[in-house]
Amino acid sequence: MKNRLMAVIALVGVACSREEPEAQPLEGYAWPATASWRMDYVSQTSRQAVPLAHYAETKTLRLVTRETGEHVLIYDSILRTSQDPEGVRVVPLTLEDTLAISTRLGERGEIGALQAACDRALPECAGARTSTVLLDLRRISPRLGADWRLSGTAWEDTVEYSDATARGTRNSVITAYNTLGDTTIAGVKYVVLSWRALHRTFRSGRAGALVAESPVQETGMTFIDPLRGLPVYSAWAGAIAAPPALRAAGATGTGFRGRAYLSGTVFDSLYSREVMP
C-alpha cells in the first residue's frame, strides 16, 4: 500500500510539472497574418434639436501581413448614406476606397510611411489620400507608452501628415492617453485606455504664411487584449463646425461618433448586427 501511495504521488508530481505555463501578456501589439475590424461612423447636424443632415458609414478595414513583414490595409464592404430634407442618398465610393495601402506597423503602434498601390504618375492616383487609413489606424490601435498596461499611466503621441488633394496643408494629431485599468468581459481580460485627440490643420495663406483652421477634438476609449496583442474595440466622439450652408440655416455644429471592433470577438457578436443610431 505504501509503495502504491508513493507511486500515485510521483505521478501527480509529474502531471503537475507538465502543466502548460500561464500565458503572459505581451509588451505590445502582435500583428497577425490577417485581421479585420468593422467600423461604424455617424454624424448629425441639428438646429434646436431638429436634425438638418445625417451621415452614416459602415466599412471593414482588413489587415494582411506579408512574409516580408510589410502590412497591407484594404477597405471592404463600404456603405455610406447621406440624409437631408430632400431625402436619402447613397454616397459613391472614393478612390481611396478601392486602393490597397502598404505600410509597416510596429509593436507599440508605430505607423510607417503609407504607400497607395497605384502609379503615382497617374492624375487619379496622385490625388489619393492615405490619411484616411492613417487616422482609422490611430483610432483602432493607440500608440502604446512604455508602461501602457499599468493603471494610471499617461503619455502623449503626435502624428503629422499632409493630404495630396489639399496641397500646402499640414496636419497633426496630438493624442493624450491614459490607462484606466483592466476589465474582464466573457472571461477575457482587457486593458482599457482612454484618449483625447486634438486635430490641427494649417493651410497656406498669403506670402506663404500658414493659417490655422479651427481645431477638432475627439475623445475615445480602446480595449486591448494583452495576451493576443491586439486592439479589439474602440469608440470615439467629437464635434466639428457645421458646413457653411447649414450654418446659414441656423446650425452651429456637427456631432460625430464612431466605433471599431475586431472580427471574431465578443464585441463583434454584440455590434455586427446592430445599426449604429
CATH number of the structural domain spanning residue 84: 2.30.230
Pair 263, 37: CB distance under 8 Å: yes
Euclidean distance between the first and the last CA atom of the chain, given in angstroms as a whole number: 71
Structural domain includes residue 12? no
Residues in the chain: 277
Domain count, the chain: 1
In this structure, are residues 233 and 266 in contact, taking their beta carbons and an 8 Å threshold?
A: no
| In-domain check, residue 138 | yes
pLDDT of residue 17: 42
Sorted by sequence, the CB contacts under 8 Å of residue 263 that are 6+ apart come out as 35, 36, 37, 38, 60
> Is 19 within the bounds of a domain?
no
- Residue 210 in any domain: the answer is yes
Q: Residue 17 corresponds to which amino acid?
A: S
Confidence of residue 168 (pLDDT cuts 50, 70, 90): low
> In the numeric block, which cell numbers belong to residue 99?
486602393
Average pLDDT over residues 117-133: 77
In a domain, 179, yes or no: yes
Host domain of residue 177: 27-271
**Residue 200 forms part of a structural domain:** yes
**Whether the predicted model's global pTM rises above the 0.75 cut:** yes
Predicted confidence at residue 277, as pLDDT, reads 67
The answer to whether position 5 is within a domain reads no
**Does residue 109 lie within any of the structural domains?**
yes
